[in-house]
Amino acid sequence: MKLYIGNKNYSSWSMRSGVLLAAFGIPFEEIKLQFDFKPGSEWHRVIAGITPTKRVPVIVEDDGFAVWETLAITEYVADRHPDLPIWPRDVRARARARSLCAEMHAGFTRLRTVCPMNIEIFFPDVGARLWAEDAALRADVERLDAAWRDALQASGGPFLFGAFSAADAYFAPVAVRLSRFSLPVSDAAAAYRDALLAHPAVEDWIADAMREQDFVPEDEPYRQER
């Protein structure tokens, strides 16, 4: 099985699937394509032949069968590995985990827009300014904080539903954003953020991102150069 991803420093969607597979020890070959959206680039040559969305991540099986979009990838992997607790075993916990992932998939637009994924740099000054000026950002973080606190209170932690699950892989890029922009959250949410960043699969992804040394201007609203 191949997992096609973008730059680890920038690609929050790739991070979700990569962390999920690594956390559960599922064998896969990682194929990284540098973000380059110019016509005729390697990105277009490779990804256009794999998925009609021309986006990552996408999983490709040995026979060429492809699955794209992170929620679909998660469900496919869970179906292929029913022995692994990719989703919580309890039916209500599983439903809640899926609800949170779907909410993340479709929502938190302001957080994702003004605090883009960028693992290699910390922006505390930018984060403080945005927090003071942007009510929509504050609303997104407050909802995120409440969702995390509710799940942790119900499960007892340390992850959202006790043991590490797909929901935690899904929120790994959010933990990065909160950390890099120093956005304020409750003590419970901060403890979960730190536990998530310390998970071995997340740590490995972050370490790889730090080694990339790439600079993609389209993903850099707050820097002109590395």
Q: pLDDT (tens digit, 9 = 90+) per residue, 173-184?
A: 999 999 999 999
pLDDT digits (tens, 9 = 90+) for 28-66: 999 999 888 787 788 888 888 899 888 899 999 999 999
96 lies in the same domain as 49: no
56 lies in the same domain as 124: no
98 lies in the same domain as 129: yes
194 lies in the same domain as 113: yes
Reported residue count of the chain is: 226
Side chain identity at 94, as an amino acid letter? R
Domain count, the chain: 2
Q: Classify 60 as helix, strand or coil.
A: strand
- What is the spatial distance between Cα 160 and Cα 189, in angstroms, rounded to a whole number? 10
- 191 inside domain: yes
Which range of residues forms the domain containing residue 68? 2-84
Is the pTM above the cut of 0.75? yes
Task: Tell me the Ramachandran region of residue 69: left when phi exceeds 0, alpha when psi lies from -120 to 50, beta otherwise.
Answer: left
Work out the mean pLDDT of the chain and round it to a whole number.
96
